[in-house]
């Protein structure tokens, strides 16, 4: 008897996992990735049939030859992905991650050049400055949304451009930061750079561990705390949450401030990373172009279903195929081929979630109708009540 109980318990747990929203989102992401890769292979075949197989193999496996770079390039988009995903949970679309990213980068640069604290804490103060810069820039759309009901998409797009031009102007007017002959910033002092992990020919550093730790903390906050519950409840229905006593305006401002701070950290991690060339560092070139990592964060958040844990893996995956895409140039392909693959993956991811939502709605409605008919007729239990797939299939066949 005890063995039978244990077996039943395991089956129940497996079924609950298969029916969970997290598993459905995971399968939707895998399906989108599969279709995106297939589409990318078709494009590569059309462009160069002879090189399509080795080129596609490089896209899939090339990142394993550059694992240090995979983690290095994944860190900024992981942070901007967390920023966008955290705002999504609140029902907000933080399309201003690029501006917040750039502002965090500028604050980190400014502290790196202008302050001279002890070597052991200089980089840490720079990171905190980047956090503060992104937070302040994220507050702007949050305040407009909460107090004036201005759509956050409009204000955050505007702050992207304002932040970009403002930072470029401030850097070019600062002689201690900008080198006109090189049209970029000077090298940061060694004390301001993040401690490297010692991987040859790679700038990977401890920021990848900090980013993963932040993602885990966000997951705990969103799923295990009252504050996280209030944020998600406000995102589901702002008016119902207010009726329940939750402060919608406060939650909107806090959410956008936290989202901005996360993007700001992404900018700080990118600019404070150590260079592979001794005596140098990462530099910023003010060329009036919005930071791409902010928009890449949107793709990462969508692919990760806005879950902090899912965003970790989606950021690593995007970075992995981007590194493989750069190596595909050895076979005559442009690196932009990966942008096509990523775009298709995101499109299929959005469509798969949409189809899943429609399917769940149909199945739920059908089950409610069957339950109502059962209650009215007093008949036998519906054999399809616990089997949505069978119920939907019977509906298509006209079976009652």
pLDDT at 239 (0 to 100): 73
pLDDT at 20 (0 to 100): 60
Query: For residue 38, what are the contacts with CB-CB under 8 A and spacing of at least 6?
Result: none
Is 140 among the domain residues?
A: yes
Coil, strand or helix at 176:
coil
d(CA 188, CA 127): 13
What the block records as the tokens of 147 is 């107090």
d(CA 337, CA 167): 31
d(CA 220, CA 309): 10
Residues in a beta bridge with 281:
274
Cα 230 to chain centroid distance, Å, stands at 21
Is 176 among the domain residues?
A: yes
Contact between 71 and 105 (Cβ < 8 Å) = no
- Per-residue burial over 357-381, b = 16 or more CB atoms within 10 Å of its CB, e = otherwise: eeeeeebeebbeebeeeeeeeeeee
Block residue for tokens 């990760």: 304
d(CA 47, CA 76): 32
Is 374 among the domain residues?
A: no
Contact between 311 and 301 (Cβ < 8 Å) = yes
Counting the structural domains of the chain, the total is 1
Per-residue pLDDT tens for 249-282? 888 899 999 999 999 999 999 999 998 888 788 9
Contact between 276 and 203 (Cβ < 8 Å) = yes
Is 92 among the domain residues?
A: yes
Count H helices and E strands in the chain, helices first. Answer: 15, 2
SS3 per residue for 51-68: HHHHHHHHHHHHHHHHHH
Query: For residue 345, what are the contacts with CB-CB under 8 A and spacing of at least 6?
Result: 32, 33, 35, 36, 37, 299, 303
Query: For residue 329, what are the contacts with CB-CB under 8 A and spacing of at least 6?
Result: 335
d(CA 324, CA 332): 13
Query: C-alpha angle with apex 308: 161 to 19, nearest 5 degrees?
Result: 130
Helix (H) or strand (E) segment spanning residue 184: strand 184-185
Residues (pLDDT < 50) of the chain are: 1, 7-12, 385-386, 388-389, 391-392, 395-400
d(CA 348, CA 327): 25
pLDDT at 378 (0 to 100): 60
- Output the domain CATH number for residue 215: 1.10.3470
What the block records as the tokens of 49 is 């049939």
Taking CA atoms, 314 is separated from 42, 160, 278, 300, 346, in Å, by: 23, 24, 32, 6, 11
Contact between 270 and 257 (Cβ < 8 Å) = no
Contact between 374 and 381 (Cβ < 8 Å) = yes
Is 10 among the domain residues?
A: no
Taking CA atoms, 80 is separated from 56, 295, 341, 365, in Å, by: 28, 8, 20, 37
Helix (H) or strand (E) segment spanning residue 206: none
Is 233 among the domain residues?
A: yes
At residue 201, what are phi and psi to the nearest 5 degrees? 55, 35
User: Which structural domain range is residue 233 located in?
Assistant: 68-332
Taking CA atoms, 372 is separated from 367, 369, 384, in Å, by: 9, 5, 14
């Amino acid at each position: 008897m005890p063995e039978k109980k244990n077996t039943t318990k395991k089956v129940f747990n497996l079924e609950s996992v298969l029916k969970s929203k997290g598993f459905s989102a995971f399968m939707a992401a895998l399906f989108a990735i599969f279709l995106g890769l297939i589409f990318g292979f078709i494009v590569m075949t059309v462009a160069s049939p002879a090189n399509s197989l080795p080129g596609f193999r490089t896209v899939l496996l090339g990142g394993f030859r550059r694992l240090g770079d995979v983690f290095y390039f994944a860190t900024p988009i992981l942070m901007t992905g967390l920023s966008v995903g955290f705002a999504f949970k609140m029902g907000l679309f933080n399309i201003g991650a690029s501006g917040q990213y750039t502002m965090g980068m500028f604050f980190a640069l400014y502290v790196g050049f202008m302050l001279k604290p002890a070597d052991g804490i200089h980089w840490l103060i720079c990171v905190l400055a980047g956090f503060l810069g992104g937070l302040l820039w994220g507050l702007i759309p949050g305040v407009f949304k909460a107090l004036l009901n201005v759509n956050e998409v409009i204000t955050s797009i505007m702050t992207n451009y304002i932040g970009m031009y403002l930072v470029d102007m401030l850097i070019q007017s600062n002689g201690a930061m900008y080198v006109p002959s090189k049209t970029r910033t000077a090298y940061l002092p060694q004390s301001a750079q993040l401690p490297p992990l010692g991987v040859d020919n790679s700038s990977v550093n401890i920021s990848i561990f900090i980013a993963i730790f932040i993602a885990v903390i966000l997951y705990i906050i969103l799923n295990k705390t009252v504050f996280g519950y209030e944020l998600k409840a406000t995102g589901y229905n702002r008016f119902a949450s207010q009726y329940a006593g939750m402060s919608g305006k406060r939650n909107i401002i806090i959410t956008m401030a936290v989202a901005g701070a996360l993007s700001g950290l992404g900018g700080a991690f990118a600019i404070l990373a150590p260079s592979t060339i001794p005596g140098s560092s990462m530099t910023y070139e003010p060329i009036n172009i919005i930071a791409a990592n902010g928009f890449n964060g949107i793709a990462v958040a969508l692919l990760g279903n806005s879950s902090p844990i899912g965003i970790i893996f989606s950021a690593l995956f995007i970075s992995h195929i981007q590194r493989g895409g750069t190596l595909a140039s050895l076979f005559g392909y442009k690196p932009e081929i990966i942008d096509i693959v990523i775009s298709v993956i995101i499109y299929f991811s959005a469509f798969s979630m949409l189809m899943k939502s429609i399917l769940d709605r149909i199945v739920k409605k059908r089950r409610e109708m069957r339950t109502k008919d059962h209650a009215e007729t007093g008949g036998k239990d519906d054999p399809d009540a616990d089997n949505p797939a069978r119920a939907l299939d019977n509906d298509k066949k006209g079976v009652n």
